[in-house]
Chains A and B, each alone.
Chain A
Amino acid sequence: MQHLDESQEHGQQHPIGIYLKIWALLFVLSTCSYLVDYFHLQGYLRWFLVVVFMLLKAGLIVAIFMHMRWERLALAYTILIPPLCLLVLMSILASEGDYTFSARGKFFDHQALPATKSLPHNTIERPAAQ
């Protein structure tokens, strides 16, 4: 256990400046993602910016605040690779959602939706919000 105690001692000691910089950067990125909504950006530009700011923030939190950048790869990969399975879950659920939407459109919502074959959800005109 001797080696462990030593690596603990100077394991995650980093200059305080890096935390302050990342903190400021997170504030800037959050402001940017809020401004996306404030200026009513729409369509692909909105989604692109929202996802980019989200991933940057998530990456900074995990890499710097949670020290993943300085951990050995054995730990980093054990934690960071399994969540990739979730991409499979998300793609399955997205196609399931599309299927459910087209089935609903066909069978019980004739008034609200134009008669369509099973088009992807985003090609069907949605009724405006009340």
Chain B
Amino acid sequence: MSQPTPIDKNLPASVAGWQSIASDWSADKQAFAVPWGKAMMWIFLLSDTFIFTCFLSSYMTVRISTTTAWPNPSEVFALIIGGHSIPLILIAIMTFVLISSSGTMALAVNFAYRRERAKTAVLMLMTALLGACFVGMQAFEWSKLIAEGVRPWSNPFGAEQFGSAFFMITGFHGMHVSVGVIYLGAVATRVWRGRYVHSGDYSIVEIAGLYWHFVDLVWVFIFAFFYLW
């Protein structure tokens, strides 16, 4: 692993570990050696982490405290394909779609820093398309569950709190994906039109990428705690 670049060339390259934190914070200067947009995106994502953890930990509390059995997600989210009931299959496909979108986004960021305008825009649009695909499958899942009688206050499978936790958590995540699709579409359009050709500064692609990877990251936790637990 290579050493991170020192911000200040006056700093000795040997300053590492905790000492590098002290030297970055102690002087009267800029603390984060990144474009301001990237620092702000990270801080936004930190706040979003707290929101999603509030949802997931209140779901944990509710699930610990119910006296009726929690519906088995493996059965609730099974699909019947070719006469066989396959557990959680739709959720698994959604997971793979989201991971693929994260992969195309990572490649888009890479091509952006190589200043390959067209490849960057196409990969970002592919990412947005996969994201839209994910939201579509989620809409299918919601309609299926609503048709089966799942409501925020009751459901035919078990503990009543299942519905409210499900709609709240997946709904908030789905909203993040939808907003991300619009955001990526907007940035990809700007890249495509050549707005960053003159300055050569494509850091906006990395910043949009941070948001997108975060949406994938949250899904990793939802998949583990809500669907697999």
Q: Using an 8 Å CB-CB cutoff, how does the interface string of B204-229 with A read, 1 for contact, 0 for none?
A: 00100110011011001101100111
A112 at the interface (CB under 8 A from B): yes
Write the chain A residue with the least CB distance to B35: A8
Is A34 in contact with B92, judged by CB distance below 8 angstroms?
A: yes
CB-CB under 8 A from B217, the residues of chain A are 58, 61-62, 66
Is A23 in contact with B99, judged by CB distance below 8 angstroms?
A: yes
B143 at the interface (CB under 8 A from A): no
Q: Using an 8 Å CB-CB cutoff, how does the interface string of B62-80 with A read, 1 for contact, 0 for none?
A: 1111111101101000000
Is A67 in contact with B99, judged by CB distance below 8 angstroms?
A: no
Q: Pick from A105, A113, A126 the residue with the most CB of B within 10 Å.
A: A126
Interface residues of B: mostly helix, strand, loop or mixed?
Answer: helix
Q: Using an 8 Å CB-CB cutoff, how does the interface string of A20-55 with B read, 1 for contact, 0 for none?
A: 101100110010011011101000001100110110
B179 at the interface (CB under 8 A from A): no
CB-CB under 8 A from A75, the residues of chain B are 32-34, 39, 42
Is A77 in contact with B21, judged by CB distance below 8 angstroms?
A: yes
Q: A30 and B228 in contact (CB under 8 A), knowing A73-B4, A100-B65, A113-B67?
A: no
Q: Once A and B bind, how many residue pairs between them come within 8 Å at the CB atom?
A: 196
A40–B100 alpha-carbon span in the complex (Å): 26
A94 at the interface (CB under 8 A from B): yes
Distance of B16 from chain A, by nearest CB (Å): 8
A78–B99 alpha-carbon span in the complex (Å): 26
Is B228 in contact with A73, judged by CB distance below 8 angstroms?
A: no
CB-CB under 8 A from A118, the residues of chain B are none
User: Footprint of B on A, CB under 8 Å?
Assistant: 3-5, 7-9, 11-14, 16, 19-20, 22-23, 26-27, 30, 33-34, 36-38, 40, 46-47, 50-51, 53-54, 57-58, 61-62, 64-67, 69-75, 77-79, 82-83, 86, 89-90, 93-94, 96-98, 100-101, 104-105, 109, 112-113, 121, 126-130
User: Footprint of A on B, CB under 8 Å?
Assistant: 1-2, 4-5, 7-9, 17-18, 20-21, 24-25, 30-35, 39, 42-43, 45-46, 49-50, 53-54, 57-58, 60-69, 71-72, 74, 87-88, 92, 95-96, 99-100, 102-103, 105-107, 109-110, 113-114, 156-158, 200-201, 203, 206, 209-210, 213-214, 216-217, 220-221, 223-224, 227-229
